[in-house]
Amino acid sequence: MSCSFRRILFPSDLSFPSPGLLEKIREIGGTDLEEIHVAFVLEAFHEIPSDFPLPGVSLEPVAREAMDRLVQIARSLNPASGVVSAGVYTGRADHTLSSLAVSGGYDLILLVSHARSLLGRLMVGSVSTSLMHIAPIPVLVLKEPSSQEALKKSAELQMADNNVLTPMIFTPDIRKD
């Protein structure tokens, strides 16, 4: 598969991609890939002024642990071509990733959606949704195969309960007068 995306920014929440998802990522990268950069944004204290004293608080151990995990994730990607790099950043995830996409010269942001419920999205927010609106480059959102199965089962249960969607107005073929 030939690909027009040569430099891919792959934000991570530090969870390991499933084998099916890893295969999709390799497909997207193809043989023209130059780089996949796996990034994690540490959002702690991003709204506290940098000169505000926080005695005894150090993000270094957390950042080191996150980097160790990112390296494992990056190694699991094993693309057909190109290099895989990793980095831990601080700030607000959506804005940091958008800025990183520009400064790093990336041409695609590749996100993984975990299909959280509405309540989950309200509680933690959705970096995916925000990035789709603010990113200056294309954003591709992939669903984890496990969440796809859960969503499929949910739809099947709705069908079993005879909750079939019925259109208010329906045209079988718009090409006919």
pLDDT digits (tens, 9 = 90+) for 12-67: 989 888 888 888 888 888 888 899 999 999 886 655 666 666 666 678 888 999 99
> Within 13 Å and on the Cβ side, how many CA atoms surround 13?
12
Superfamily of domain 7-145: HUPs (3.40.50.620)
**Confidence check: pLDDT of 169 > 90:** no
Q: Measure the CA–CA gap between 94 and 97, rounded to whole angstroms.
A: 5
Neighbours of 96 (CB within 10 A): 19
Kindly tell me the burial class for residue 1, based on how many C-beta atoms sit within 10 Å of its own C-beta (0-12, 13-18, 19 or more): exposed
The domains of the chain are located at 7-145
Kindly tell me the burial class for residue 147, based on how many C-beta atoms sit within 10 Å of its own C-beta (0-12, 13-18, 19 or more): middle
Tokens, residue 160: 């079993």
Tokens, residue 63: 């950042």
Please tell me the pTM assigned to this model. Answer: 0.74
User: What does the pLDDT average to over 73-77?
Assistant: 91
**Confidence check: pLDDT of 124 > 80:** no
Tokens, residue 164: 């079939």
* pLDDT per position as a tens digit, 126-168: 788 889 899 999 999 888 776 556 566 666 665 565 555 566 6
- C-beta of residue 142 within 8 angstroms of C-beta of residue 29: no
